[in-house]
Amino acid sequence: MTHSAFHPTARTLMGPGPSDVNPRILEAMSRPTIGHLDPQFVGMMEEVKAMLQYAFQTENALTLPVSAPGSAGMETCFANLVEPGDKVVVCRNGVFGMRMTENVERRGGEAVVIDDAWGEAVDPDKLETTLKAHPDAKIVAFVHAETSTGVRSDAKTLVEIAHRHDCLAIVDAVTSLGGTELRVDDWGIDAIYSGTQKCLSCVPGLSPVSFGERAVDKIKSRDAKVQSWFLDLNLVMGYWGGGATRAYHHTAPINALYALHEALLLLEEEGLENAWRRHDLNHQALKAGLEAMGIRFVVDEAHRLPQLNAVWIPEGHDDAAIRSRLLNEFNLEIGAGLGDFAGKVWRIGLMGYASNPKNVISCLAALEAVGLKSAESAIAAAQAIYDNP
């Protein structure tokens, strides 16, 4: 069999991730590869850490990108903080809360699960009640921005409750970092993880994490070794620690880190709060257009993610057929529903570089073209938002 170079069709990525990658980031990846202990690379690592601190709004010294995708960031938090026998309260309101439970159990911890309905935010009162019933709990874990449902939970309040009961708080910010308000230090988050392929507009394959002092103290005082050698932060800190000296741990994904550096530079140039406002403006325009088509949102407006729009599939329309036509006729990718929402929901992403007026208008036009007609012009409804932001 004869093979040839792979050249994928250019798509517009408006699903739950990955999102469109800024061309500046793709160019950054093509720069010359140097050694992972090269002094130039070590200098760039320090800049990446500083810019991640800005993105997370933290001064945590232990802030770094794990050399693997967001799921590895999740594993890094749980592998380092959960010891055998630890009781962990997991707030579960979608797929990724379910994965947290799995992580606790695989590390010999005891998961106490609080369930909220898919599409609803984590209920702070349920967390308070559960922690009162389990005074020996050591950790609370929840998803800030649940990618499977498009719901945002009140991280600040949930962390405050966790701390009142002397628990550390682990937070999933895979879909929120760079796209919606997130303040690690102001909210007192102890451990947090994200991914590069969503609102940072970067390529998949890296997972930014950050650990506060209380979390670091727990990592350093563990009785048992961290289950994963690769993700053991006691070892990783030797490579990502401060100063010019680095202890070899693994060969970092050098060109992917060039990409992250460029992505964080773009975020710095735009300004974090400006990026939050941009995501919200494009969400408001998309919302106006979708509602003109009679499409309803899954999540109550007070808890809705601007960067991940979960909507009910209108009656009479076939989920897979519509998404297939969008992909094949318009090179437009939107996401299907997961779990309980499979076949019932579309997830339309407006993340990072993909969050722009051109994509909003193009998406609405493509939906109309494949049969989702509106009583009034969806495009005009969206444009009205841009004309009067």
Asked if residue 5 is part of any domain, the answer here is: no
| pLDDT at res. 167 | 98
Residue 46: give its domain's CATH number. 3.40.640.10
| pLDDT at res. 245 | 67
Integer Cα distance of 350 and 359 in angstroms? 8
Question: Do 178 and 247 have their domain in common?
Answer: yes
Asked if residue 56 is part of any domain, the answer here is: yes
Asked if residue 50 is part of any domain, the answer here is: yes
Question: For the chain, how many structural domains are there in total?
Answer: 2
Q: Residue 65 CA to chain centroid, in angstroms?
A: 13
pTM of the prediction? Answer: 0.96
Which of 251, 268, 285 corresponds to the end of one domain? 268
Q: What is the pLDDT of residues 119-157, one digit of tens each?
A: 999 999 999 999 999 999 999 999 999 999 999 999 999
Question: Do 291 and 251 have their domain in common?
Answer: no
| pLDDT at res. 238 | 84
The backbone torsions φ and ψ at residue 161, rounded to the nearest 5 degrees and listed phi first, read -65, -45
Integer Cα distance of 152 and 144 in angstroms? 6
Continuous segment of H or E residues that includes residue 3: none
Question: Do 156 and 253 have their domain in common?
Answer: yes
Which of 221, 251, 268 corresponds to the end of one domain? 268
Question: Do 239 and 276 have their domain in common?
Answer: no
| pLDDT at res. 375 | 61
Q: What's the domain range around 322?
A: 272-387
Q: What is the pLDDT of residues 20-55, one digit of tens each?
A: 999 999 999 999 999 998 999 999 999 999 999 999
Query: What stretches in the chain show pLDDT beneath 70?
Result: 242-245, 375
Asked if residue 6 is part of any domain, the answer here is: no
Question: Do 307 and 233 have their domain in common?
Answer: no
Residue 299: give its domain's CATH number. 3.90.1150.10
Which of 234, 268, 302 corresponds to the end of one domain? 268
| pLDDT at res. 237 | 84
Question: Do 240 and 319 have their domain in common?
Answer: no
Integer Cα distance of 117 and 15 in angstroms? 22
Nearest to 114 by CA among 71, 162, 76, 80: 162
Where does the chain show beta strands of DSSP type E? Answer: 12-13, 62-66, 87-92, 110-115, 139-143, 145-146, 151-152, 168-172, 191-193, 207-211, 308-312, 332-333, 335-336, 345-349
Question: Do 380 and 302 have their domain in common?
Answer: yes
